[in-house]
Chains A and B, each alone.
Chain A
């Protein structure tokens, strides 16, 4: 599903990713961990095609991302769902309008959009918030709106950049439950996070980055490998 082959990304003299290689199977849920500046967001932006790698190759579901022509990139992005750390919502659109946007972009019929929006907002528990604007929502509700928008098209791969960054532990747990459910329906999920509780609770694969390098790749990992061992 995801294959990084010696991928590096440099911004001038700064090395954001340094020969990163890993493979992820279809339907897997995995965490990308590491301190701030480790390269997590850069890695997500490389998958999205926002950045081009300085060297190496990124393959998503058989497509080499860095070889996709600029004009065709939008078709590739339609197969992905993204939960952005900073939400990237339209503040002048309602919750329902924001969630409907990916379907609108893909030219879905109005009746189909309405049906799917109602359904997905029900799944994420925002049925009572459809006509509110993002500025009227709490942090957890904003994050659930973004999640609903990310999955409404049924993407093959769901990318989440710090999805629990601004949430309290209870709301974070609720979000993780949703991610788990989405993953159980067959969607591959990549989650970049700082949240040790979230990582530890799901016991999924953990790829840890530090200074742009993969320093750990565990099948059922925890947030702090060494520390957790030493603590126990």
Chain B
């Protein structure tokens, strides 16, 4: 069996190479879309998990009044979490954020920074409602929330998923058709041999299995190439992305995650290879008794 498959692949090496490269390209683009989608999802999750509404309190607000406002906001169904940030904590956060800029640190003290309530919601669409409620509080000086940024990011991720899904589907179709065409040519080349095997009493399984295996091997090799290219690409862009996505726990991508991506690509590759070979063999089987 292995010898037959080896013979099939090496009898027309350029056809095999063409099939592997086209499937590799499709799987590479698919994995690139997947990695971008997964990365965007993580970025979105990061923003969603951070306090999304900040209500700055007037300096005269007493601790009991803060507790009352906090309790009222926490009572809202859509609110996930409310944290009180005192003036001292605000200063600490400011220091952390500007630790490389001593000039900025010199000019700021706890006195000039307002205490605040940092509110997270379950749903980004509730941000406006929570902000409106907070604005009604007499002791709240100002309310800011990042509705536009987060919603834009959310929309972007959703659009990316849809486009990525469509492109991936199209590429998989191209990959499947490529395997079908290459194996179809291969079967046509071996038509006489297959007919002899049939006349000698070979079962369909005996004849078809080498072709199925050949298709699956193309898919597996292509998946490994696509994964290698994706990983190399990711390692190459990581230094730039780390700067761009400062503070977001996205990079470096874990090896375990990349191995999971490899497993997924191998599965898709094997499926594409099998499907292509299955369609090619079915067409031939219908034609010959």
- Is A105 within 8 A of B196, CB to CB? no
Instruction: Answer whether residue A20 sits at the interface, using C-beta atoms and an 8 A cutoff.
Output: no
Given A90-B193, A105-B206, A73:B289 Cβ within 8 A: yes
Residues of A within 8 A of B201 (CB): 74-75, 77-78, 80, 102, 105-106
Residues of A within 8 A of B289 (CB): 49-52, 70, 73
- Is A88 within 8 A of B196, CB to CB? yes
Instruction: Answer whether residue A158 sits at the interface, using C-beta atoms and an 8 A cutoff.
Output: no
Q: Whose C-beta in chain A lies nearest to the C-beta of B193?
A: A90
- Is A101 within 8 A of B200, CB to CB? yes
Count A-B contacts at CB 8 Å.
Answer: 43
- Is B204 within 8 A of A77, CB to CB? no
Instruction: Answer whether residue B203 sits at the interface, using C-beta atoms and an 8 A cutoff.
Output: yes
Instruction: Answer whether residue A209 sits at the interface, using C-beta atoms and an 8 A cutoff.
Output: no
Given A49-B289, A50-B199, A88-B199, A74:B193 Cβ within 8 A: no
Instruction: Answer whether residue A142 sits at the interface, using C-beta atoms and an 8 A cutoff.
Output: no
Q: Whose C-beta in chain B lies nearest to the C-beta of A77?
A: B201
Interface positions of B from 172 to 217, Cβ below 8 Å from A: 192-193, 195-204, 206
Q: Majority SS of interface residues in chain B?
A: helix
Given A49-B289, A70-B289, A102:B199 Cβ within 8 A: no
**Cα–Cα, bound, A106→B201 (Å):** 8
Chain A interface bracket (under 10, 10 to 19, 20 to 34, 35 or more): 20 to 34
- Is B200 within 8 A of A102, CB to CB? yes
Binary flags per residue of B249-276, CB closer than 8 Å to A gives 1, else 0: 0000000000000000000000000000
Given A49-B289, A50-B289, A74:B198 Cβ within 8 A: yes
- Is B199 within 8 A of A71, CB to CB? no
Smallest Cβ distance from B288 to chain A, in angstroms?
9
- Is B196 within 8 A of A74, CB to CB? no
10 nearest CB pairs, A to B: A78-B201, A77-B201, A105-B202, A88-B196, A74-B203, A74-B201, A102-B200, A105-B201, A50-B289, A105-B200
Inter-chain pairs besides A74-B204, A77-B198, A77-B201, 18 sampled, C-beta below 8 Å: A49-B289, A50-B199, A50-B289, A51-B289, A70-B289, A71-B204, A73-B289, A74-B198, A74-B202, A77-B200, A84-B199, A88-B196, A90-B196, A101-B197, A105-B200, A105-B201, A105-B202, A105-B203
**Listed A/B pairs (18) with beta-carbon separation below 8 Å:** A49-B289, A50-B199, A50-B289, A74-B202, A74-B203, A75-B201, A82-B199, A84-B199, A88-B199, A90-B193, A101-B197, A102-B201, A105-B200, A105-B201, A105-B202, A105-B203, A105-B206, A149-B200
